[in-house]
């Protein structure tokens, strides 16, 4: 029986429209192969939304997102909007979307793709076999804590203030997502905090430790964030699943991303307790290469695969997309960001065509 899904597309800015087109083409082909009917609806977000409506996340967009089964987002932001006040910048749309949909968990895999191992700046023996999942808390912590702002003191001097705050329930719900993820992976969870300095981290460590009693099959360890940053580049293979707060997760997931060599290859999923999840590449809108057919669409395509796997429970279709990506890389097709001598240089559009060919060849079901 045909399964119907309503998918909201948020192409955003920069390379967003180019890469999301590739992902949609891929989904259409896989949809036919697996009897999935996608109804795509596009909405404005980020700079494109600011230009059209004055707001980075129009109420219409949030409503359309709420009424869908999953959301495929590209990226937002660009030089044009950099000087706007922070609540009107494209990135404010991302924060609004996460808060509006209650997306408190961000899952970012950083897995070495064997065909691209030479793209890593680290030695082959250090990164070979790396397969890390960073589970980042997304709607709490210092990005949302109050008070926040730039205030003037009695002497007229300005003070910038942000507040890192986590409640027990926020820690426990992200902890559960992370323990469950670790259970499905290598069975190891490392919780990252700064409990030697921050009280909020002491509570974090305490709650995660208590929660571990419910997951005796998962081996829990703790690490300070500064040590974790060092260990990620020194010996990344020691990590399986990492759980951490919003700010530390933002930084560590980018560091983990770069172990793989190209930010153009990494997908992510943001999930809530119920309702649609948002699936998007880790990279930004790459305004430096926008509109030049140079973007690597693979992170966006792999985000569509994550959408199928985690958002729509269609693991076989997700496998098919991931296999097509491997097949294309195996045949030495590369975009500029992952190019190396002897490989075939493709633009974004041609990479999409190569993927469709791989999907239709059916050699890797
Ligand atoms: P970026 O990820 O956009 O770009 C960093 C570098 O990686 C650039 O050289 C870019 O050309 C390259 N790159 C990124 N994605 C690529 C791809 N798919 N293919 C080939 N090359 C790729 O980060 P940035 O330059 O720091 O930020 C640019 C804009 O994106 C800013 O406005 C920033 O705020 C925004 N941003 C948005 C998101 C998001 O929407 N989730 C995330 C990060 C940054």
Using a 6 Å CB cutoff, which residues line ligand 1?
A: 15, 75-78, 91, 94, 263-264, 280, 283-289, 295-296, 299, 337
- Decide if 194 is catalytic: yes
> What one-character DSSP code corresponds to residue 250?
H
- Reported as type and span, the H/E element at residue 105 is strand 105-111
Q: Mark the ranges of the chain whose per-residue pLDDT is less than 50.
A: 363-365
* Whole-number Å distance between alpha carbons of 304 and 34: 15
Task: Characterize the bridge pairing of strands 333-334 and 277-281.
Answer: unpaired
pLDDT for the residue 365: 45
pLDDT for the residue 320: 97
Q: Taking the alpha carbons of 304, 306, 312, 315 in that order, is the dihedral positive or negative? A: positive
- Decide if 35 is catalytic: no
∠ at Cα 222 (110, 280), nearest 5°?
25
Query: Which residue stretches of the chain are H helix?
Result: 16-34, 47-53, 59-66, 90-100, 124-127, 168-184, 199-211, 225-234, 246-259, 298-306, 315-330, 348-361
Burial class of residue 153, CB neighbours in 10 A (0-12, 13-18, 19+): exposed
- Do 347 and 355 meet the contact criterion of CB atoms below 8 Å apart? no
pLDDT for the residue 270: 95
Q: What are the tens digits of pLDDT across the range 234-251?
A: 999 999 999 999 999 999
Which residue minimizes the CA distance to atom 10 of ligand 1? 286
Q: What is the pTM of this model?
A: 0.87
What structural domains and CATH numbers belong to the chain? 1-102+273-365 (3.40.718.10), 108-262 (3.40.718.10)
pLDDT for the residue 362: 64
* Whole-number Å distance between alpha carbons of 296 and 161: 38
pLDDT for the residue 49: 98
- Decide if 82 is catalytic: no
In the numeric block, which tokens belong to residue 131? 């397969």
């Amino acid at each position: 029986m045909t399964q119907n899904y309503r998918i909201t597309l948020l192409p955003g800015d920069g390379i967003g429209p180019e890469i999301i087109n590739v992902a949609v083409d891929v989904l259409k082909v896989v949809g036919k192969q697996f009897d999935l009917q996608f109804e795509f609806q596009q909405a404005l977000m980020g700079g494109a939304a600011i230009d059209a409506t004055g707001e980075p996340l129009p109420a219409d967009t949030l409503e359309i997102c709420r009424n869908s089964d999953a959301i495929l987002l590209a990226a937002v932001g660009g030089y044009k909007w950099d000087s706007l006040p922070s609540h009107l910048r494209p990135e404010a749309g991302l924060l609004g979307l996460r808060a509006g949909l209650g997306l408190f968990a961000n899952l970012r895999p950083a897995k070495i793709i064997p065909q691209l191992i030479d793209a890593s700046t680290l030695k082959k023996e250090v990164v070979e076999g790396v397969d890390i999942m960073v589970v980042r808390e997304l709607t709490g912590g210092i990005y949302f804590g109050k008070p926040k702002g730039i205030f003037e003191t009695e002497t007229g001097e300005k003070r910038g203030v942000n507040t890192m705050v986590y409640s027990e329930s926020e820690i426990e719900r992200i902890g559960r997502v992370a323990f469950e993820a670790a259970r499905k992976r290598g069975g190891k969870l490392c919780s990252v905090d700064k409990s030697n300095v921050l009280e909020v981290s002491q509570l974090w460590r305490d709650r995660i430790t208590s929660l571990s009693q419910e997951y005796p099959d998962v081996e829990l360890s703790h690490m300070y964030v500064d040590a974790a940053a060092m260990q990620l580049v020194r010996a990344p293979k020691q990590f399986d699943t990492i759980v951490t707060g919003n700010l530390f997760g933002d930084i560590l997931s980018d560091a983990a991303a770069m172990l793989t060599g190209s930010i153009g290859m990494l997908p992510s999923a943001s999930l809530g307790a119920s309702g649609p999840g948002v699936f998007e590449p880790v990279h930004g809108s790459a305004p430096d290469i926008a509109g030049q057919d140079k973007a690597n669409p693979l992170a966006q395509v792999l985000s569509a695969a994550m959408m199928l796997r985690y958002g729509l429970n269609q693991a076989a279709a997700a496998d098919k997309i991931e296999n097509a990506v491997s097949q294309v890389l195996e045949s030495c097709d590369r975009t500029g960001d992952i190019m190396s001598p002897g490989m075939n240089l493709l633009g974004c559009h041609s990479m999409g065509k190569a993927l469709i060919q791989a999907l239709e060849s059916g050699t890797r079901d």
